[in-house]
């Protein structure tokens, strides 16, 4: 069963999904945030994380996200293990929240960074927040203080942004400044509401 009123929002790492969602919120759209759900679930799974990867990844009962990020973006096998632990639970919670929002009617946004990678969400309309790979990399390095190599590893952990762009129902172009992103977001908000 597809979620009739849902619009998925995805993109690449640091392409501007959260920034675009904050702007869409200003138009009154409801947002389900997969990263926030994933954060909560990871905290609940601290014991399992320690068992899988070692006690050094947990301090005072909380997962050391920075340290875990360094591991999982440089080690494909570890990333797979973390995904096997978290993704079914993340999916379950997103589906639960989408059922609630679908009953309320639409449209509403489901911000899922790995929408195409997981391929497991019954949502037909998809916004891709687009910025070219080099721009993603620059913003990622600035935001996280990463080195070039670490940023490349994070980009390589996802389907390339050009591929995602081709599969979009709508593209929000975030290759320029924030003023431009505001105009893009308004344009897509109008298209979402007019397409119904």
Ligand X SMILES: Nc1ncnc2c1ncn2[C@@H]1O[C@H](COP(=O)(O)OP(=O)(O)OP(=O)(O)O)[C@@H](O)[C@H]1O
CB of 177 to ligand X, least distance (A): 5
**Residue 24 contacts by C-beta under 8 Å, 6 or more apart in sequence?**
9, 31, 109, 185, 189
By CB under 6 A, the count of residues binding ligand X is 16
Question: Of 53, 95, 100, which Cα lies nearest the Cα of 75?
Answer: 53
For residue 74, how many C-alpha atoms fall within 13 Å in the half-sphere facing its CB? 12
Instruction: Please state whether beta strands 62-63 and 58-59 pair in parallel, antiparallel, or not at all (unpaired).
Output: antiparallel
Residue placing its CB nearer to ligand COD in the complex, 106 or 113: 113
| Residues at the interface with ligand COD (CB under 6 A) | 13, 34-35, 38, 42, 65, 68-69, 72, 79, 82-83, 86, 90, 113-114, 157-158
Query: Residue 49 to residues 16, 68, 86, 118, 142: CA-CA distances in angstroms?
Result: 28, 9, 10, 21, 28
Figure out which of the listed residues 1, 177, 194, 196 binds ligand X, where binding follows CB under 6 A: 177
CB of 60 to ligand X, least distance (A): 25
Residue 19 is labelled as binding a ligand: yes
Give the SS3 label for residue 119. coil
Torsional sign, CA 130, 132, 135, 137? positive
Residue 18 is labelled as binding a ligand: yes
Binding mask 59-98 for ligand X (x = CB under 6 A): ----------------------------------------
Figure out which of the listed residues 5, 8, 18, 173 binds ligand X, where binding follows CB under 6 A: 18
The end-to-end CA distance of the chain, in Å, is 19
Residue 38 as a binder of ligand X (CB under 6 A): the answer is no
Residue 14 as a binder of ligand X (CB under 6 A): the answer is yes
Per the annotation, binding residues for ATP are 14-19
Residues that bind ligand X (CB under 6 A): 11, 13-19, 35, 113, 139, 143, 174, 177-178, 181
């Amino acid at each position: 069963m597809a979620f009739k009123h849902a619009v998925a929002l995805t993109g690449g790492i640091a392409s501007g999904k959260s920034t675009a969602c904050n702007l869409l919120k200003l138009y009154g759209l409801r947002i389900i945030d997969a990263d926030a759900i994933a954060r909560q679930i990871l905290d609940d799974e601290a014991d399992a994380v320690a068992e899988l990867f070692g006690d050094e990844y947990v301090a005072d009962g909380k997962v050391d996200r920075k340290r875990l990020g360094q591991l999982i973006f440089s080690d494909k096998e570890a990333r797979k293990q973390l995904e096997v632990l978290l993704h079914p639970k993340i999916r379950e919670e997103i589906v639960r929240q989408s059922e609630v929002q679908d009953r309320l009617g639409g449209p509403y946004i489901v911000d899922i960074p790995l929408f195409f990678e997981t391929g497991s969400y019954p949502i037909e309309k998809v916004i891709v927040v687009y910025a070219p790979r080099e721009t993603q990399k620059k913003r990622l390095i600035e935001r996280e203080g990463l080195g070039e190599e670490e940023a490349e590893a994070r980009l390589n952990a996802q389907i390339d942004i050009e591929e995602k762009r081709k599969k979009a129902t709508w593209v929000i172009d975030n290759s320029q400044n924030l003023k431009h992103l505001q105009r893009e977001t308004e344009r897509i908000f109008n298209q979402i509401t007019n397409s119904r």
